[in-house]
Amino acid sequence: MYRTVCQVLAVIGATFGAAGAALALTVEVRAPDDLAGELRAASLTAALPEEDTAPRAIDVISAAQADYARLIGLLYDKGYFGPTISITVDGREAASLSPVSPPGAVRSVVVTVDPGKVFTFGTVTVSPTAKGTEPVFQAARGETANVSALRTATEAGIEGWRQQGHAKAAVSDQQIVANHPAGQLNADIRLDPGPRLRLGRLNIEGESNVREKRLREIAGWPSGEVFDPDTLDQVEGRFRRTGTFASASLTEADVPNPDGTLDITAQITDQLPRRYRFGAEYGTTDGVSVSALWLHRNIFGGAERLQIDGQISGVGGDTDGVDFRLGAQLSRPATWRTDLEAVLLAEIEQRDDPNLFSRTGRLEFSTVYFASEDREYSYGVGLQRARTRDDLGERDYTILTFPIKATFDRRDNELNATAGYYAEASLRPFINIDGTSDGVVTTLDLRTYRKFGDRVVLAVRGLLGSVAGPSIEEAPADFLFFSGGSGTVRGQDYQSLGVELSPGVTIGGRSFLGLSGEMRVKTGERFSVVGFYDAGYIGSESFFDGSGEWHTGFGAGVRYDTGIGPIRFDVALPGSGPGDSSGVEIYIGIGQAF
C-alpha cells in the first residue's frame, strides 16, 4: 500500500538567469504508509514549496541530488538495507542532471521509494574492548538492524578505552555486510586502543584579562596523571563555575608527545566584566519587592567577583513595615586549593514584620568546597550584632557564628525542575558575646520532583527548623521561626503563626516544620496549571514534639514558560489553623515556588 504526499505552492515571479515567470512547483513523495511521513520530513526537496520565495531550478536539482544520501541514511536507520530510490525532476532522474547547466524551470519532482525488506542483526562484534567494561553492543541477534546501534556501540567501545587512558583509541577496520538473501546485517568492527597516555602541558589560548597564573590555579591541571576525559570535563567546569568566562573549551592535541604525554589546549574567552540585574515580585499580602545587583567578575585580575546587591520588600503590603537588605560580597576561586572558594561578606538588614522588628549587621568569612558539580560544602566564622523588638520588648545581642552548610542539587533544571532532588542542610552554632546564650540554629530544606508522562510533574518540599540552647525568651528574636506567606504557607497571612506566650504576646517559635506539594500539569507549549497545598507548624520547643500548632493553605496557579524560567501566578486560600482569614492571596514571581 503506497501513499502519495503532494505539496503544491504557486509562486509568482520565480527567476533563473534572465527569465521571469509564474511557476507551480509540485513535489510528490511516494512510499509505504509507515515511512512516507518521515521520508518527506527528511527530504530537502519536499521542503522547497514551503519557502517564501520560489526555488530556482539549480536549487531544486541540488536538493534532489542531496536527497539520495539523506533518504538512504534514514532507511538504514530503520533496517532497510536494500532500498530503491528514484528522484525524477520533470521526468528525468536527478542523478543524471548537471547543476552547471540546469533547465530554465522545474515544475515537478517525484520521489519514489521502495524500501525493500527489513534486515535483522546477524553476527556483530566490536572488539577489542577495555577490560572491565560492559558489552558495548546491546542489540540481540534477530532484532531489527540499524546503523545507529552500530554507531553507538562503536562510540561506547572507544569511550571505554579513553576512560582507561587510551586517548587516541579509534576504529582500525570495519566490515559491514548486508546479506540480502538472508536479510541479515553482519558487522565486524575492530578497535585500536593506541598507547596509554598521561596528561602533558596545558596550553592556554584566547584573550583573557585574568592573569595566566590565576588561570592555571583555577584549572588545577594534573599534569602527569593518566589521561581521563572526565578530568577535561572537570577543568572546563571549574572555569565555568567562576562566572568570569563566557566560554572555556579544552582540545586534545592531534599527536601525543614522544614521552607518552598528551598536551591539551584551553581556549578561554572572558564574559563582559560587569553585570547588572533588576527584579520585582508582588503579593497581595507581602506587597512589592524590588531587588538590584551590580557585579564585577574580575575586580583584581584574578577572577575575583565583587557583588553588591540590595533588596527592598513589603512596600504597599500588609506586613506592617518595609524590609531592606544591602550587602557586599567578595569571592575568590581556587584559594588554597583548586576547588575551594573564599568568600567575604558584609551586610546590613532590616526586617519589619508583623511580630518582629530587627536591624542586623553581619561580617562573615567562609570557604566553599565544590566536591562535584552537584555537591558543595561551606564553613566559616562570622560576627553578628543586632537590635530586635518583639512582644517581649527591645533587646540587643552580639554573637560569634560558625556557619556550616551542605548542598546537594540534582535537579534537571534550577528554575523549572521536573526530575531529581535538592537538599540543603545548615548548622549555625553561635557563641554569646552579649545579650543572649550560646546555641545552634539548624535548618533543612528537602525537595523532590517526579515526572509522570510528558505533562505531569509532582513536586514535594519539606522544611525543618530548630533553635537549641537558649530558652525561647532569651534566644535571638530574629533566629526564631514564623509561618505564613509565600515562602511557607500560601493563603495564610504573612508570618501569622507563631508562639502565643500569653494573651497579646506572640513571638517566633524554636521549632518549625513546613510541607508543600504541587501538581504541575502542562496544558500547551508554554502554559501549565498548578494545584498546591501547604502546611506549616510552629512550636515552642527546640524540636518537633507535636505540642505546637499547624495551619494550612491551598490554591491553584498558572505558569508561563519563558524559556529561561516560568512566570508564576498563584491564587491561594487559607485552610485550617489559628488566625486563618477568609481573604484570597495572590502571588506573582519568576520561577517555580520551589
CB 514 within 8 A of CB 462: yes
CATH 3.10.20.310 intervals, the chain: 120-192, 198-270
Q: What whole-number distance in Å separates Cα of residue 443 and Cα of residue 464?
A: 5
Residue 56: count of CB within 10 angstroms of its CB: 19
Q: How large is the angle between the packed helices 57-77 and 33-42, nearest 10 degrees? A: 130
Give CATH superfamily name and number for 198-270: membrane protein fhac (3.10.20.310)
Q: 3-class SS at 147?
A: helix
Q: 3-class SS at 120?
A: strand
CB 136 within 8 A of CB 153: yes
Question: What nine digits make up the cell of 261?
Answer: 604525554
CB 339 within 8 A of CB 220: yes
How many whole angstroms from its chain centre is CA 531? 24
* pLDDT per residue of the chain (594 residues) written in tens, 0 to 9: 433 333 333 332 333 333 333 357 889 999 999 999 999 999 999 988 887 777 888 889 999 999 999 999 999 999 999 999 999 999 999 999 887 777 878 889 999 999 999 999 999 999 999 998 888 888 888 899 999 999 999 999 999 999 999 999 999 999 999 999 999 999 999 999 999 999 999 999 998 999 999 999 999 999 999 999 999 999 999 999 999 999 999 999 999 999 999 999 999 999 999 999 988 877 666 678 899 999 999 999 999 999 999 999 878 766 667 889 999 999 999 999 999 999 999 999 998 888 889 999 999 999 999 999 899 999 999 999 999 999 999 999 999 999 999 999 999 988 889 999 999 999 999 999 999 999 999 999 999 999 999 899 999 999 999 999 999 999 999 999 999 988 899 999 888 899 998 888 899 999 999 999 999 999 988 999 999 999 999 999 999 988 899 999 999 999 999 887 899 999 999 998 886 566 788 888 888 989
Q: 3-class SS at 57?
A: helix
Strand extents, DSSP E, 373-503:
375-390, 393-401, 404-409, 420-434, 439-452, 456-468, 499-502
pTM of the prediction? 0.79
- DSSP conformation letters of 362-374: EEEEEEEEEEETT
Half-sphere exposure of 313 (CA within 13 A, CB side): 23
Question: What nine digits make up the cell of 102?
Answer: 540546469
How many residues are recorded in the chain? Answer: 594
Instruction: Name the residue type at position 98.
Output: S
- DSSP conformation letters of 522-556: E-SSSEEEEEEEEEEEEESSSS--S-SEEEEEEEE
Architecture of domain 274-590: Beta Barrel (2.40)
Report the CATH number of the 120-192 domain: 3.10.20.310
Task: Single out the residue of 473, 383, 475 nearest to residue 436, CA to CA.
Answer: 475
Task: Single out the residue of 146, 26, 140 nearest to residue 77, CA to CA.
Answer: 146
CB 466 within 8 A of CB 543: yes
Q: What whole-number distance in Å separates Cα of residue 127 and Cα of residue 139?
A: 15
